[in-house]
Amino acid sequence: MTQEAENIQKEQEVVSYKALTPRQQKQRLTELATVFLRLGTIAFGGPAAHIAMMDNEVVNRRQWMSREKLLDLLGITNLIPGPNSTELAIHIGYERAGWRGLLVAGSCFILPAMLIVWALAAIYARYQTVPEVEWLLYGIKPVIIAIVIQAVWNLGKKAAKDVPTIIAGMVGIAAYLAGFNEILVLILLGIAVMLLKNWQARGHTSGAFLLPISGILAQVGSTTAVTSVSWISVFAFFLKIGCVLYGSGYVLLAFLQRDLVERHQWLTSQQLLDAVAIGQFTPGPVFTTATFIGYLLAGNAGAIAATIGIFLPAFVLVWVVNPWVPKLRQSSWASGFLDGVNAASLGLMAGVAYTLGRAALVDWLTIIVAIVSAIAVFQFKINSAWLVLAGGAIGFASHILLG
């Protein structure tokens, strides 16, 4: 039997999951739990690294599906809000073992990072005023700026593919710096590019028109400021973010900076940078930054509420959208909307890089660390986790030498 035939057979086995015996079903769920707990524990380096690990594990090693199928699933994750690599894990679980696999794969991929970030949040809340911790983060923050700039560059190479997307990216930067709501910026620019690219199309209209609805609904309720930070408020805030956030985890920074720091003033810019730093040198989804912030705002209940809130939409959307993957993947309307959203995400990321840079680059040492980190990530492709650890070591060493 050829490799491709074996892959096809594996995909056919997925379809017949319900026909398996309870013992066989349990075995599949156990395999999913084992694989994604391990990946969630070692998956440093951001979404691109996560996806590469899943490809190696699911296609090369275990042959659960063909690479073409995996690429289709990856493509559809870009059409819905939420963290792309986490949604890919959820898709794989759904393909492998139905709705139970969806829950197991996604939860196991998220859980290790959540627990690590939760523990670090508790330590941070207790010791953030200790000079050693402050100097540790002092060295990490410039590294984060370099990593975000790299993400902007990588996204830009894919997002700025023609005149409409280039214009959308520029408008996204201007809109962020002008203080416009990021949710509306993403939705409106996505729709604008979609319409421009399909102006002459008079055929079908696809379900892509439904994609912005969740963002519009979330926006309706987002104009009322929360007056007290309870775990319910934390859950509602991150649920809204999870419903409308497109792009990589770095786009999350734009929303958090604008809402948590500037509008609600629940956090300071320093606390936000610290939360991002914690999310960077821990494995798993960058979105577990929400766990850290939730703990700072509302303790243990806040950590749980924020994590559930930001990831819950991903589970629901994958469950709803997965059966439509073949049609949406080929839709010119969905493709146009995606192009606009990616370009707008580029603009937001560029804007937040500028904002965070002003807060992180405070003296000659932080500027040098940022420049060296940028060279490391662009020229030598060094894993961002190692850079974050090195930045922390530099910050701590500078405190020892200068203190």
**pLDDT tens digits along 200-251:** 455 444 444 434 433 433 333 333 333 458 999 999 999 999 988 765 565 6
CA pair distance 149, 372, nearest whole angstrom: 13
pTM to 2 decimals? 0.68
- Low-confidence residues of the chain: pLDDT under 50: 1-2, 4-15, 200, 203-227
Q: Determine the distance from the C-alpha atom of residue 372 to the mean position of all C-alpha atoms in its chain, rounded to a whole number.
A: 25
What the block records as the tokens of 225 is 């400021």
**pLDDT tens digits along 123-140:** 888 876 555 667 777 888
Is the Cβ–Cβ distance between 158 and 336 less than 8 Å? no
* Predicted local distance difference test score (pLDDT) of residue 315: 96
Give me the amino acid identity at 33.
A
* Predicted local distance difference test score (pLDDT) of residue 346: 79
Distances (CA, A) of 69 to 88, 157, 302: 11, 24, 37
CA pair distance 193, 198, nearest whole angstrom: 8
